[in-house]
Structure 1
């Protein structure tokens, strides 16, 4: 079986783990940098080139692209899909999940989330602040990851100043209710297919409310509740993600969905839990291709 791993950097830990897991299962895996791809749409059908050389169709593709490569990655993935390639994350799902507001619009009313507001004009700032329960509140850039572009506004004045600065720079942000009782902790549940294969609790470092590992947070293995697992799986399925890192907060009103990551990192959660997440991902892809025998011929 031929597998394309869409990644701009072969040396990344997660990419290397996925390659190793693929090779252990005799999968012919190749890292494809979306920036080195070109595409043709002909009367005979879609053609895919890598480094200016035509490539035969792949049985499966696994997108592992950062936010800065969302457009390039989704474009390449869409071309592969047109050739009959399977992906646990479709191009449409990748685009939907990368826009925090679009993802939350798809999830609203179906899973519990912190109250969220969005606007483009400074005239709406006071109303937005009131709708999320006042300050402190969280401000998030719509397309960001690893805690980058996430700030905590402690006062109405700081909230207005930060929002006006973002709006003035034409950076789209949303405002979100601050869950005080979470106390700088969140949960990351790694969903593969219809199950949670690993979970960890992330704790922020002193002086920072963000629990992301890239922001200095610490990770501990976690045994999530049935309610937390059900929420994570449902959120991933609604967004069309066969593989997802789902972040939750524990609140007085139960678990709340924070966000869903379509290309979750593997290093932190594998180190914290000892679970072979890369292997679980490969086993899932193999099983999905086995369910459609024509794919395994590629």
Structure 2
């Protein structure tokens, strides 16, 4: 059995999309909502199995990866999140790049020698690497209108990945991947009036309108904090809303807190776009937290810990801003 294991956001989906457009393969799809990242733990493998693992932190999957290698499975692993110790093993082919200006789909793009480059640009937009994606779009000869179309598509695919569970989503990430696999060009998705693009576009407009009406619950010179209510709409929009806030105020860090079913918080942190560092490490200081330099999250933050989180984030960016 071959398993395709991937994050349910734009980067994970599009990374796999490029690989399967280049090399179609029958596979068991293993994915979930964006925050469901310990995906290797669910697998029971043997020496006849193989895995492609995309856009999930190796650090958070150390045990699952060790189990896979011990079982004799072959593992192809591509990611840009915190890795921890990368095992030295004959069955592991790892491509890990922690640069704040890359994403998993761009790493795959390089491995495939830009064979599906427009999809990779779409993923970069979806992962909020706007400056990088704009540069790539310009180098690819795209017009501003075409670049804007890829940005919107990437944002919509990313938007679909957020939720407390898959019932919050408009498409299960595996289903969305399978639907997008019908298109070797992202512009073909936009041209098809029956594609997922139009369903997500309409839903995104409704959810974002609600989120954009909020005012900050806390704000200082380094950080703004927004609290979303306990609704499916809030959970769906939390990540793209954080990206939107970051783009509106690039010198500020942003915390987006969503009330969860336990009446505590699910957290998204965006580092300032002018100071892309520390987000994943800050979130890692709390149980169930992690991420990368520019963006991090905490799956479950008790309300009693909120003040500490706010102080930690504000202090960190106060220090790093003064040193740059």
Task: Give the alignment's TM-score, normalised by structure 1.
Answer: 0.28
- Mark the structure with the bigger radius of gyration: 1
Q: Which protein has greater RCO, CA pairs closer than 8 Å, 6+ apart?
A: 1
Give 1 or 2: higher helix fraction.
2
How does the TM-score come out when normalised to structure 2?
0.26
Structure with the higher strand share, 1 or 2 = 1
